[in-house]
Structures are given as C-alpha cells and as structure tokens.
Chain A
Amino acid sequence: MLQHFDPNKDYGTPASLSEKMVTLEIDGVEITVPEGTSVMRAAALHDINIPKLCASDNLEAFGSCRICAVQIEGRRGTPASCTTPVDAGMKVTTQNDKLAKLRRNIMELYISDHPLDCLTCPANGDCELQDMAGAVGLREVRYGFDGNNHLDAPKDQSNPYFTFDASKCIVCSRCVRACEEVQGTFALTIDGRGFDSKVAAGQNDQFLDSDCVSCGACVQACPTATLMENSVIDMGTPEHSVTTTCAYCGVGCSFKAEMKGDQLVRMVPAKEGDANHGHSCVKGRFAFGYATHKDRIKAPMIRDSIDQPWKEVSWEEAIGFAAKRLKDIQAQYGRESIGGITSSRCTNEETYLVQKLIRAAFGNNNTDTCARVCHSPTGYGLKQTLGESAGTQTFDSVMFSDCILVIGANPTDAHPVFGSLMRRRLREGASLIVADPREIDLLSTPHLGTATHLPLRPGTNVALVNALAHVVVTEGYEDKEFIAARCEGNAYAKWREFIIEERHAPENVEDITGVKAEKVREAARMFATAKNAAIYYGLGVTEHSQGSTMVMGIANLALATGNMGREGVGVNPLRGQNNVQGSCDMGSFPHELPGYQHVSDSVARARFEKVWGVTLDDEPGLRIPNMFDAALSGEFRAMYVQGEDIAQSDPNTQHVEAALSALDCLIVQDIFLNETAKFAHVLLPGSTFLEKNGTFTNAERRINRVRKVMPPVAGKEDWEVTVELSNALGYPMNYSHPSEIMDEIAQLTPSFANVSYEMLEKHGSLQWPCNDEFPMGSPIMHTESFPIGDEGKALFAVTEFVPTTERANSRFPLLLTTGRILSQYNVGAQTRRTDNQAWHDEDILDIHPHDAEERGIKTGDWLGITSRAGQTVLRARVAERMQPGVVYTTFHHPGSGANVITTNNSDWATNCPEYKVTAVQVEKVSQPSEWQKNFQDNHERQNKFLRGAASSADAVK
C-alpha cells in the first residue's frame, strides 16, 4: 500500500501542513521538513528516534515528561524536542552523556512510583514505559519504593470493555488530551495538583457513570497498562493483525483486527485508515463480541411451514430445497412472483451477486435494498440535481469548512468518528447551524464559532430550506458567477422565480416550521457569507413524505451559494449502515442496474446481457413495500433476504408481518435468527465482516477492503451461498474469490472501471468515480462539471412544500420521531449481543416536561403510545432536549415495537417511509401492548423451534 509515512510508527507530534520547507541538522544529518514540524518529528522521519512518553503523533505536543530533551547549538538548556519547532540552520544533538543522564534520572522518578510487575502486567511487551526504560538504560531506582506512592490506587472496572488501573498511571495526560483533541468529549481531566495529580473521569465518577463515550481513544493513547482493554487482560497480547473495515455505520473506519490464531483479541483503529485516521467509536472498537456469540446460526435449516420446528440440514440440502421451492413457485405463479432484498451490511460483491441472481436467475427486477427505507431520496434527489447519487466530499473536507449546516442528523451518535472530526473543526472556529427538532449533542460541544439551533417541527424541512434559499436570493447572497458558469440557465431561472415568492419568506413560514424568522435569516446569512459552507444531512431529511424534495432543496442551497466542487463545501449525506452507498451503487434498486444505469437503457442493458448471457427485463421491478402488498394479494410468493431484518426495521410492523406470513417461501441468510427469520422457511447461516473478503463503500464513496480474519462459522462466506443458490437454479456463477466479482463490476459499471483489488491494495482505498477520466478516484466531485445533461451543468429543482398528511390532531396530539443512539446499531442484532447493552438495554420514549406534566408522566413510567397504525408500550424519560409536542424513541430492540406505530406514509418519489413523523397519543399504562404480548409468545416459540433443530442435530451426530 502506498504510504507517505509508516502508519505503525509514532512520529511524536502531528505533521505540519506548511508548504515552506526548513533545513536543519540533527546528529550531523541534514534534514529538510515542513516549517512548523517539531524537532522530535523531524528526527523520527529520518529514523532518529528520541525517547518519549507524553508525546504521540495524534496529539498536540505537551512537553510534560521531559524524556525527549535534546541539546540545540547556541540555545540554553535541554528543550523538549516535542514542543520545539525546527528552525533553519538549527543543529540538534539527541544523544550524549548529559542527555542520557537526564533521561535516566527522569525515568528513575517515574519508575519509583510504578508497580514492578512487568511479567504479569497485561501490557508486558506492549508498553511504552517499559520500552523507554530500556531505551534510556535505566538499571536501578535509587529512591526505593517506601515513600509516598500510588501503588495501592484502586482500579476502575466499571466500563465493560476496559480497565483503569490508576496504580500504573504516569500522569502523562495522553488519555486526557486524546479525549479532548481526538474524540472531543472532554470527559477526562487531571484532578488534583502536584503529587496528588491523577486522571479522573468527570467529577471523580466511575468511567461508566461519566461522560465517557468509550471511543477507546484514551486506551489507545495510554503508554502503560493504566487503560487497558479487558480482552487483552483476559487473553494476553495479540500475535498478528489484519487490516479490515468496520461493519458499523457509513463512516467505514479502518481497523487492525489483532488476533491470536483465529481468535480476535481487539480491534485497533488504523492510523492509515483514510476515513478515520486512527480514531474509533464504542461500536467499532469494542462491540465485536457478537461474531462469536452463542446465538450465531451455525448450520443451514429448513422447514415446510413457519409453525414447524427447524430441521438442521447440509448446505446442499438447504440450497436444493430453496431452489426447488423458487422454481416451483415461478412455474405456478409466473416469473415475477419471486424477488429478493440485498443488504447494506454485506459487501459490494455480495450485493452485486444478489441483484444479479434476481435479474439473471429469477429473470425479473424484483430486487430492492434497505436503502429504500433510509437514503433512497438521496439517490433520487442528488441524481436529479447534481447528476450523481452520492455525496460530493471526503470526510476530511470538513476541516476546510467555515460554516457547517447539519440537517436531520446526529453525527456524534450515528457517525461518531466523523462527529469527532466535525467537533475538531468547530473547536477551530467554524460556525454551526443545526436544523433538528431535538437539541443534539453537537450543539453543546465546546467550540470557538457560533452555534445556531433551528428547532423545526417534524415534517417541515422543505419549508425551512426554501426559506433559507429565499433569504439567500432576496438579500443578494447568490454566487452569480458560479451559477452562470456551472448551472443550467432555464432551470435556475424557473427556480429563482419560485423561490423569491413572498410565501417562502421566513416570516411567512414561521407558523409552519415553528422557527423564528430572524433566526432563519441569520442562519441563511451565516451560511451564504461563509467562505466555505458545507451541508451534512441524515435520515431526518430523507425519511419524510417530502424526503426527495428536501434533498433537492439542499442541493439548491449549495448551488445558489456556490458551495460545490472544492474542499470545505458540498452536499454530504451521512449514510446509516456500513454499505448503504455500496448497495445502491451495485444496482440493488429495482429500476437501476449497477452504476445507476436504468433498466430501460437498451445500451446499458445490452452490455449486461452480453456478460451475463441472459435477456434482462426492461421494466422496473417491485420495491420492498410493493413486495409486501403483492404478497398480501397472493401474487408475490417467495423472497430471498440477505442480511436484512425487514420485520424489525420496516414501518407498520403488523402489515410487514402479515406479508411475510403470506409467503410460500422465505429464504433468510443471516448471522442470527432475526425477526424476519422467524417467518422463514430456509435459514442460511450468514458470515460476519470478520469472516469474509470483499469491499464496503462508505458515505464519502470510499471503497475499502474487507479482509477475512477468521473462518466463517458455517463454512461459507455470504457470496459463496448466493453462487450456490444461483447454480442450483440453473444459472451458473463461477467465481473463486470476490476479487473476480469486483473485476466484473468494474467491467460493467463506468464509475468503477479502474477499481480492482490490486489497485485497492496499492492505494489503501479509492473513491469513485474511478475510471479513465479519474484514474486515481475522485475525493471531491463536480470540480469542473456535473455528470448531467449535455453541458454538464447542475439543475436547480423547484421544491414545492407539500405538508405530510400525517398530522397531529386531538386524538393523536403529539408527533413521534425515531432515531438511533451511539451504543446500539440499527436493529441491534449485533450490538444487543455485546456489552454495549450496558448503555442502552431498552428503547425509551423521550418526552418534553410540559407534555409529561400534562399527562402526569414521570421518568420510568410505562407509556402506551398509540398511532393510526398501532400501539406499543415503552418506558418514559422526561427530556429537556425535546420540544413540546414532539416525542422520540429508538428502534434497537425488537420487543419495543417502535415500528408497530410508524405508518405506511412514504416519500412521494421513492417510497422511503416517513419514520420521522407519526402522530401519536401517549398515556400511562400498566401492561405491554397486545402486539408486544404476541411478539413475546412468537419469540419464545420460534426460539424453541431453533433449539429443537440444534438438539436434534446433536442427537444425530
């Protein structure tokens, strides 16, 4: 892999971005480095390694340990090399008798207050203190160990993933600085002064009770065993590692999976990771225990009816059973009676194969993906305006933003590693505008700029974005030069005429959005006058009946202000799951072949037909909600679902359950018996991201390698199962490795034309489009033109605000909006099977104090939540962050039934469900809802069916 620096080496201080070079001499070696580089880093770059303890190249220099002292010709004393910047002509000495003695003396003081239990210490062999004691030649501690010390300091074992052993702490502050500088949480501090100084979480809280978000940055930074992963304490240090990509969220962090044999000891964020640069969150860093959880499905299973126990069978029998059922159903009910759903959690290669199976082997376009229920409006809206269904920037681009507009997203919870980068930029002074019904944590992050909250009512996004654009245009903030050069004139003129209408003025939409007009005007001015302004958005934009309109409104705002095509600007959808971008790119939608090529495009279709050797349907197939409707009408009879849990994640659960129950054959491929699998006839064991090879594409279009670190528990990677099913159906697929699938993707997908595993190994990652026009990929898109129309000019879109029909009234007076939390992931199938349960073991309903008081509700009360779709029961939490009239919950626990109450309203263009607006009533209750009682009964029954299969298989063995 191409690397400017060795990612495994710590250069002591961060790199300087200066373009001015400075030449100096270190130990007689002439060295040229960027101005602003520390002496320590300059030396390390030339393999002159100065001892250090408090320095790390992901933290600003601190100069507290003094171990890194050097001598500089013409200067007095022994300055710390970490805090001393290079100077032209400087002559530095890093090793001589005086320095050696000084360092030994310092180290002697450290060791005099450190337990000498190296042989039984979990950091033995992986301890910087130990290494530095060796490096400085420490041979004795003259002070003895009888004086005051910290050797009896208690351990804090409250956090399920790491232990804080204060007796080993050298108070270097690396953990405190990592919490501040890398993570941006400021949960840790140095409490006390002098000898009493100690690291403390919050106000001397236990780690678990403090503001600590368990990102692991402190553990990573600790040079001793003070902060140590419990898995290392239990298992010992790892012996090899494999770099791979996290399977949680759309950030796509690179990790080193550190192993002992085929056992995963710990996940360490990779410094060379282009998306995360060595940072992580609690999920990616620690929540990998689900991979070896006892609930894993380890053998294929079949049954004739969902009221029967499972029967454990061989792979051959399960695949044969599934193929026969699919063929029989098609023979009886027609070609279009079956379909499938690809997974945003699986790899690009696996997703590509599933849609290929459906189009080529099933012979129809009944393929869809869970992006239907999250970012399908992004695909539609950005394609209509910018010509490409993807975000325009890199994550790093935010470091060039002067104004950051966050709409309907909660990056510190849902995209935590990017959230930390955003926080860093806010601390540097960028201004922040948050448009969200809730007061999200980003608003309270320490920063130097201005923070503005636009607390709009759920369902009024389009009215707000139109008002922002109205101010931009009517107050003369348009970037006329950009618009003239880069945007199509007629579409712009039409949009301009629309947006200047007085009905869009902030004063005229104040009653709709609930946001003060002057605040909207201020925000619009702030956005429009910033040198670089960027928009980041999430599902709070897309999961509305006007989701696609809002995405286009966001594109309009960026275009009108000229914030497109360079660093620090752009339109940035924050994708929910790890491979949402990839699953969309790979042709999962029923109307598009891979690379967003429409099925009606005869030229594109012909290329696929030639390579795939079949004739393809030229009409769009069924979307997920259409599949459910068609199943209930008896026209759709079988479904293949890989790695998705539609029974939990899709809206109007009772409707979904009825549809799944109506199927003659449901084939579920998953790592657990998820909610959907309870309605299945064939259960095929899935493989986790640790058990397979492939690629994920993150929210910045970055294609990253997923590498196998352990064998699949049931013997097959997911792509192999799809291949076998296809072969059993009579459509041959022949691949021996996912790299061959990627080669086929590159052959058929113009934006992936230059992508190969060889290129990925060489460059680490690539951002599409990566083809002859952009041979090294495209970090920033639309720098010169847009891939739309004959002239390559962006299209403004008229964005009429059409209010949702889902409205509050006297029967349903509150608006429910749903979302996610830091410690859990999506339907929770993975994170619920980890110690992340310590933070969130049930879904809670957040309610404003005013609404709670009106109903006599206290935190902890059981609440019945009733909507037009159904009823469920959750515990209450009275929360100031809510606005009056709005309640909020998460959907991480299936028994919560959050989607029993969401309705079948959806986005007008894509059918993306309107999860963010459900009119509800809330009242105190004393027992679970009827649905919850039925859920519990079915849960127990289906688990009994599963246990029965396992025990009968054991008996046979």
Chain B
Amino acid sequence: MFHTEEESIVTMINHIAQNNVSAGSESDVADIVENHITKFWSRRMKKILSEQLAKGSETFEPAAKLAAERLSAKISA
C-alpha cells in the first residue's frame, strides 16, 4: 500500500527488479527492467521516474536505479 504516485512509481520499478533478480548481475537485471519499462510504461510514468531519480530518491534498489538512470539518459538524449 502506497500513498503517492511518486511512491508507487518507485515501488513498481523496485518490484520489477525484485521479480527478475534471478536474471544475473545487477546490470542484467537492469536490462530486463529497462526493457520492461520501455515496452509497457507510458511517457508520463517514465517522466515521473526520471524526476524521482533526479530528486535523489534513496528508495531505489540498485538494479532499479541503474535501469532508471539508463531510461533517464534516453529521455534526455
């Protein structure tokens, strides 16, 4: 149970990472998370994710954070 949209976005990316933890290294897991978000998340969700990353949210899991960084870089490019 979460209370804000920002909280839910970070929870969701962490959740994707947790459910794919068996993929291998942190980078491998991040690949899956990145692909999943690219394929299923809307622009708006990706934007909120980038904003949360930029704010320095400390609730990201490592693989989720790595994926979020890659996605943010793509958005800014």
Closest chain B CB from A851 CB (angstroms): 22
Pairwise interchain contact A904-B2, C-beta atoms closer than 8 A = yes
Contact residue among B22, B40, B45 (Cβ-Cβ distance under 8 Å from A909) = B40
B43 lies within 8 A of A619 (CB)? yes
A498 lies within 8 A of B22 (CB):
yes
Are A336 and B40 within 8 A (Cβ)? no
Residues of chain A within 8 A of B20, CB atoms compared: 798, 800
Q: Does A701 contact B (CB under 8 A)?
A: no
B19 in contact with A549 (CB, 8 Å)? yes
Q: Is A632 a contact of B19 with CB atoms below 8 Å?
A: no
Q: Which 3 residue pairs across A and B have the least CB separation, nearest first?
A: A908-B15, A629-B5, A798-B22
Residues 607-635 of A at the B interface (beta carbon under 8 Å): 619-623, 626, 629-630, 632-633, 635
The residues of B that contact A266 with a CB separation of less than 8 Å are none
CB <8 Å contact, A545 and B39? no
Q: Which residues of the partner chain B approach A549 to less than 8 Å between Cβ atoms?
A: 19
Q: How many residues of A contact B (CB 8 A)?
A: 38
- Chain A CB within 8 A of B57 CB: no
The chain B residue sitting closest to A652, CB to CB, is B1
Inter-chain contact A620/B40, CB cutoff 8 Å: yes
Query: Smallest distance from the beta carbon of A531 to chain B beta carbons, Å?
Result: 32
Asked whether any CB of chain A lies closer than 8 Å to the CB of B36, the reply is: yes
Q: Check B1 against A632 for contact (C-beta < 8 Å).
A: no
B residues 2-45 in Cβ contact with A at 8 Å: 2, 5, 8, 12, 15-16, 18-23, 36, 39-45
Q: A336-B44, A600-B39 are in contact. Are A802 and B19 (CB under 8 A)?
A: yes
The CA of A910 and the CA of B39, in the complex, are separated in Å by 11
Q: Is the CB of B1 within 8 A of A868?
A: yes
Given contacts A591-B40, A623-B42, contact A909 B19 (CB under 8 A): yes
The interface size bin for chain B is: 20 to 34
Q: Which of B16, B22, B42 contacts A620 (CB 8 A)?
A: B42
Residues on B with beta carbons closer than 8 Å to the beta carbon of A620: 39-42
**7 pairs from A and B in contact (CB 8 Å cutoff):** A365-B42, A600-B39, A626-B42, A635-B44, A802-B19, A905-B1, A909-B40
From B5, B23, B39, B41, give the contact of A598 (CB < 8 A).
B39
Q: Which of B12, B39, B41, B42 contacts A908 (CB 8 A)?
A: B12
Known: A633-B5, A798-B23, A910-B40. 15 other contacts (CB 8 A): A498-B22, A591-B40, A598-B39, A600-B39, A619-B43, A629-B5, A798-B20, A800-B18, A800-B21, A904-B2, A908-B12, A908-B15, A908-B19, A909-B16, A911-B12
Q: Assess whether B36 is in contact with A909, with CB atoms less than 8 Å apart.
A: yes
A630 touches B18 (CB 8 A): no
CA distance A337 to B8 in the complex (A): 21
Distance to closest chain A CB from B50 (angstroms):
14
Q: Are A802 and B41 in contact (CB under 8 A)?
A: no
Contacts of B36 in A (CB 8 A): 909
Q: How far is the CB of A498 from chain B (nearest CB, A)?
A: 6
Q: Contact check, A630 vs B44: say whether CB atoms are below 8 A apart.
A: yes
B42 touches A590 (CB 8 A): yes
Which residues of chain B have C-beta atoms less than 8 A from A365's C-beta?
42
For residue A903, CB closer than 8 A to chain B, the reply is yes
Q: A629-B8, A908-B12 are in contact. Are A802 and B18 (CB under 8 A)?
A: yes
Q: A904 contacts B15, CB within 8 Å?
A: no
Closest residue to B2 on the A side, CB-wise? A904
CA distance A111 to B68 in the complex (A): 82
Known pairs A545-B15, A798-B23, A800-B22; A904 contacts B1 (CB<8 A)? yes
**In the bound complex, what is the Cα–Cα distance between A846 and B19 (angstroms)?**
32
With both chains docked as a complex, state the minimum distance between the C-beta of B45 and any C-beta of chain A, in angstroms. Answer: 6
Which residues of chain B (38-60) have a CB below 8 Å from chain A? 39-45
CB of A618 to closest CB in B, whole Å = 11
**Chain B residue with minimal CB distance to A630?**
B44
Bound state CA distance, A908 and B23, in angstroms?
16
* A905-919 Cβ-contact flags toward B at 8 Å (1 or 0): 110111100000000
Considering only CB atoms, which chain A residue lies closest to B9 in the complex?
A629
Give bound CA distance, A545 to B2, whole Å: 14
**Using Cβ atoms and an 8 Å threshold, which residues of chain B touch A903?**
1
- Give the docked Cα–Cα distance between A365 and B44 (Å): 12
A831 to chain B, nearest CB (A): 31
With both beta carbons as reference points, the residue of chain B lying nearest to A549 in the complex is identified as B19
Does A869 make an interface contact (CB < 8 A)?
A: yes
Q: Are the C-beta atoms of A908 and B18 separated by less than 8 Å? A: yes
* CB <8 Å contact, B19 and A800: yes
Q: Which of A630, A802, A869, A910 contacts B1 (CB 8 A)?
A: A869
* Alpha-carbon separation in the docked complex, A357 to B24 (Å): 42
Q: Is the CB of A622 within 8 A of B19?
A: no
Chain A residues near B5 (CB-CB < 8 A): 629, 632-633
Contacts of A798 in B (CB 8 A): 20, 22-23
- Once the chains are docked, how many angstroms separate the CA of A805 from the CA of B12? 12
Measured CA separation A549–B22 after assembly (Å): 12
CA distance A336 to B42 in the complex (A): 10
Contact in complex: A591, B39 (CB < 8 Å):
yes
Candidate in B8, B19, B36, B45 with the most chain A CB atoms within 10 angstroms? B19
Tell me which residues across on chain B come within 8 A of A805, comparing CB atoms. Answer: 1
A143 to B48, CA, bound (A): 89
Chain A residues closer than 8 Å to B21, beta-carbon distance:
800, 802
Asked if residues B15 and A802 are in contact (CB atoms below 8 Å), the reply is yes
Residues from 778 to 821 in A contacting B, C-beta threshold 8 Å: 798, 800, 802, 805-806
CA distance A168 to B1 in the complex (A): 61
Q: Which of B2, B5, B23, B44 has the most CB of A within 10 A?
A: B44
Binary CB contact string for chain A from 344 to 384 against chain B (1 if under 8 A, 0 otherwise): 00000000000000000000011000000000000000000
Instruction: Take A549-B19, A802-B19 as given contacts and tell me if A621 and B42 are in contact as well, using a CB distance cutoff of 8 Å.
Output: yes
A622/B23 contact (C-beta < 8 A), A802-B15, A806-B1, A908-B12 known: no
Determine the distance from Cα of A600 to Cα of B42 in the docked complex, in whole angstroms.
Answer: 12
Interface-central residue, B2, B16, B22, by most chain A CB under 10 Å: B22
Chain A: which residue is nearest B24 at the CB level? A494
Q: Choose among B1, B16, B23, B44 the residue that contacts A626 (Cβ–Cβ < 8 A).
A: B44
A806: B residues at CB distance < 8 A = 1
